Structure 1
Amino acid sequence: MKRSEINALIRDAKDFFDSFQFKLPPWAFWGPDDWQGKGDLEVVRNQLGWDLTDYGAGDFEKRGLILFTIRNGNLAAGHPKKYAEKIMIVRENQICPMHFHWAKTEDIINRGGGDLVIELYGSTPEEDLGDEPITVLVDGIPRTVKPGGKVVLSPGESIFLEQGMYHRFYGASGKGKVLVGEVSSVNDDNTDNRFHQPQPRFPDIEEDEKPLHLLCTDYPNYI
């Protein structure tokens, strides 16, 4: 992805968050120069902040995700915080690919906007897609879906995803962008994503202009 595209998407994301009165922490608006000398912050160590990916597909509108990690622990460093929180924007028919987590459990929450469609499978011991129905909790109420079945979350609804539960999600057609929250155990996007079809979690970036704000993957290169 080009940095200019990333900058434009971050500008759009800030406007979208503001439209819901969802406020980010002050450091979300720092420029690259503001980060100098701040490499020891929890924000940097635990990969908080702006995060954007096209999963290596080169077509963000069809396969991609922009999010902001608000809080997170760090199991490898023995950090006392055992939870994480993200805010995401999911566009109509923009796919977050099929994957599960070995360690993380999470609530995915539709905070507003359109409808969020989640497709679900269990997983086999060989980490393939399961062929049995699975039961998930939607706002604490059990719901059983067939393999590949869909749960549609309208604004205010949430789903609890267990370890090893394959899922992919996207915004419902014709409903507009979705403001999506995630509350989970500690998040580690470097080691805890099992994509059904192998693909990169983070994008390759063509630096055609200066970053507006650093992505969490930019910290090692700029601080």
Structure 2
Amino acid sequence: MKRSAINDILQAADAFIAGFQFALPPFAHLSPDALRGSDHAHIRDRRLGWDITDYGGGDFATMGLALFTLRNGTLAELQQGRGMVYAEKLLISRVDQLSPMHTHAVKSEDIINRGGGILVVELFASSPDGHRDPSLPVTVTCDGIARTLPAGGKLKLAPGESVTLRPGDWHAFWAEGADCLIGEVSTVNDDETDNIFDPPLPRFTKVDEDAPPWRLLVSDYPLHLA
């Protein structure tokens, strides 16, 4: 993706979130230079902040996602079972913009429609070998109620509704009717290693630096803040 396009998407995402009266934390508005400060090491180390991906497809409007990580623990804390063992994100899914089929090796998550249109979640169970099963039904919990769907069933979440997804619950999602603001509350998030796509896809976007960054992406931190 071109950096200029990422800048435009970030500015639109910032405005979209603000339109729901959701105030982002101060680090959402830090310039790349400001993020270099020693007092922002926690933000960099836990990869808090903005994230834009087209999953390597080169067509963000068709397959992509805008995200903002608000808080995140560490895998060490999760393994110890104490400390900051949780994470929280905001996601923006545009109408008919696919977030492709994937599951997580470790992370459990609640996906919450915070507002906008209908959030459509396509679901599959895992076979005993961990692959997506094309025939098994899948059972998930929606706001405390168990729901069973056929393989490939589409769960439709209205604003305020949510689904709990555990490792092995394969899912893809998109917005219907209007763009969606999505909340994600989960165990510790590690996007470097914990996403398993079917078919395989890259999680992070390769950036064409045709313009200076307006805000850095979490995937920029190792390169731009070294």
Which of the five TM-score ranges fits, normalised by the shorter chain? over 0.9
Give the CA deviation at 1:208: 0.5
Matching of residues 154-173 of structure 1 within 5 Å: 154-172=158-176
Matching of residues 41-120 of structure 1 within 5 Å: 41-76=41-76, 80-120=83-123
Runs of 4+ in 1 over 4 A off after TM superposition: 76-79
Stretches of structure 1 that go unaligned for 5 or more consecutive residues are: none
The CA distance in 1 between the partners of 2:76 and 2:55, in whole Å, is 25
The RMSD of aligned alpha carbons is 1.4
The CA distance in 1 between the partners of 2:153 and 2:215, in whole Å, is 38
| 3-state SS, counterpart of residue 217 of structure 1 | helix
The CA distance in 1 between the partners of 2:51 and 2:194, in whole Å, is 16
The CA distance in 2 between the partners of 1:32 and 1:120, in whole Å, is 38
Partner residue of 1:219? 221
Alignment deviations for residues 1-32 of structure 1 (CA, whole Å, 9 cap, x no partner): 00000000000011101110111111111111
Does residue 151 in structure 1 map to residue 155 in structure 2? yes
Aligned residues of 1:87 and 1:181 also touching (Cα < 8 A): yes
The CA distance in 2 between the partners of 1:163 and 1:36, in whole Å, is 35
- Name the aligned partner's letter for residue 179 of structure 2: K
Does residue 33 in structure 1 map to residue 33 in structure 2? yes
- Name the aligned partner's letter for residue 217 of structure 1: S
What percentage of aligned pairs have identical amino acids? 50
Aligned residues of 1:122 and 1:147 also touching (Cα < 8 A): yes
| 3-state SS, counterpart of residue 68 of structure 1 | strand
Alignment deviations for residues 77-125 of structure 1 (CA, whole Å, 9 cap, x no partner): 7793100000010001101110001111000000000110000000113
The CA distance in 2 between the partners of 1:115 and 1:44, in whole Å, is 33
The CA distance in 2 between the partners of 1:48 and 1:76, in whole Å, is 17
- Name the aligned partner's letter for residue 117 of structure 1: V
Partner residue of 2:140? 136
* Pairing partner for 1:195 from 193, 197, 204: 197
Aligned residues of 1:39 and 1:45 also touching (Cα < 8 A): no
Aligned residues of 1:108 and 1:160 also touching (Cα < 8 A): yes
Alignment deviations for residues 20-46 of structure 1 (CA, whole Å, 9 cap, x no partner): 011111111111111223386221111
- Name the aligned partner's letter for residue 25 of structure 1: P
| 3-state SS, counterpart of residue 212 of structure 1 | coil
Aligned length: 221
> CA 1:171 to 1:210, structure 2 compared with 1: closer, same or farther past 3 Å?
same
Partner residue of 1:206? 208
The CA distance in 2 between the partners of 1:136 and 1:64, in whole Å, is 24
The CA distance in 1 between the partners of 2:188 and 2:6, in whole Å, is 26
